[in-house]
Chains A and B, each alone.
Chain A
Amino acid sequence: MVIEVDSSDEFIGYAHPERLVSTGWLQEHLSSPGLVVVESDEDVLLYETGHIPGAVKVDWHTDLNDPVERDYIDGAAFAKLLGSRGITRDTTVVIYGDKNNWWAAYALWVFTLFGHADVRLLDGGRAKWEAEGRDYTTERPRPTAVDYPVVERDDSSIRAYKDDVLAHLGEPLIDVRSPEEFSGERTTAPAYPDEGALRAGHIPSAHNVPWGRAAADDGTFRRVPELDALYRGEAGLSDGDRVIAYCRIGERSAHTWFVLTHLLGFENVRNYDGSWTEWGSAVRVPIVRGSEPGEVPQRKG
């Protein structure tokens, strides 16, 4: 860690409190050498309306995704992206965004695929910064391009593909979509049309814990006892479990991946980014409709 961690009391109890910073901490450290603040939003124009002074923008849609293949960018493109934002391999990156850090967590997860060591979230994201009346600017920083090494993306430990999920059936799955999507009443989140699928429902045996339940009203993460009640209680996870989380295209579940991995300390959590848009349209994969998790299907011999 190049820059000291935020040892705020409110992070006590989280498994990896060094993955979070508070708004106060960020304000104090804004001009620290070795720190780059990144804004990553669901609304791609929000950054332009005003951002934390010095923050650079990473657009989930145009920057992190390969434009043609349904996949993330490769090591060379990632090196170019981060280098252009003034980020070196040793830089402490703090990411924040709108909608309870939904896309910020997604960006953090993608950074983690490339093994960027020190990447943290601003607890509460844009909403909290704004609610506290802190500064925004429309001035775009012009970082000097730096060298970022070309590292190969490592999908093996925190990303699941469809076949991984098929092989995983019988072990814990968390579906973080809305109850209506889970039950099969609809294929898309309320107010989020399309990116749909041919079938509605969920992956057999998945527990439904909508992602937003991990956030408090002010956008900060809920404390450990509340998170425990959700994931260890309602969803029945136990220490040592291997878990796969999914949603519709893998963004909401990146938020849950962050919660399970960094706040609750589960060590083997993967995000299935193909998620329901892939699973719900794939040929000969089992689904369940209704609000119960459902049984794991017998494997066909």
Chain B
Amino acid sequence: MTELPQSLAQIRDDFLELDQSDRLVLLLEFANELPELPDQFADHPDLLERVEECQAPVFIFVEVGDDGTVHLHATAPKEAPTTRGFASILVQGLSGLSADEVLDVPDDFPQTIGLTDAVSPLRMRGMNALLSRSKRQIRAKTAA
């Protein structure tokens, strides 16, 4: 089994330590912490990819730096805090990892953070889609 990167393992452990209702509070904290888009994307929404699987208009963009580190950018409306929370977990958990480390993140990571009872399966799949689309962008950008 692949080891989770430290950042994601920490997030998972933080969730699993809490009881169900506090997990939602933590998810809300993540939602509130979703960073604003850097200016270059805010001015160019065409650079962003819509995550069609999510129930709210969510857009992502993955940057792979010259040194191979990944930075995920995401935007989601304030009226969709669950989706914002999921995006924020990935933005914070993936940023700074190497491309290979992100590609090695298990696809079922969203199912392992203790939210499947609190959030409908439909929403969990939205988070899966965020992860898989991020990986796909990385593959496309590192293939050359």
Contacts and interface: CB of A to CB of B under 8 A. Distances in A.
Q: Do A and B come from one complex?
A: yes
Interface of A: 42-46, 48-49, 61-62, 67, 98, 191-195
Contacts of A62: 117-118
Interface in B106-126: 117-123, 125-126
Contacts of B123: 44
Contact of B81 (A45, A191, A192, A195): A45
Given A45-B28, A49-B31, A193-B129, 9 more contacts: A43-B55, A44-B24, A44-B119, A45-B24, A46-B79, A48-B81, A49-B28, A98-B79, A195-B122
Interface string B41-61: 000000000001111100000
Contacts of B75: none
B81 A193 contact: no
Interface in B15-68: 24-25, 27-28, 31, 52-56
Interface of B: 24-25, 27-28, 31, 52-56, 78-83, 85, 117-123, 125-126, 129
A62 B116 CA distance: 11
A194 B121 contact: yes
Contact of A48 (B25, B78, B120): B25
Contacts of B78: 49
Contacts of B121: 194-195
Nearest to A138: B28
Contact of B55 (A45, A49, A61, A191): A191
Contact of B82 (A45, A67, A191, A192): A45
A67 B27 CA distance: 22
Contacts of A67: 117
Contacts of B79: 43, 46, 98
Contacts of A194: 121-122, 125
Q: Which 10 pairs across A and B sit closest by C-beta, in order of nearness? A: A45-B81, A45-B82, A193-B53, A61-B120, A48-B28, A43-B82, A49-B81, A194-B125, A45-B28, A43-B80
A98 B123 CA distance: 16
Nearest to A126: B79
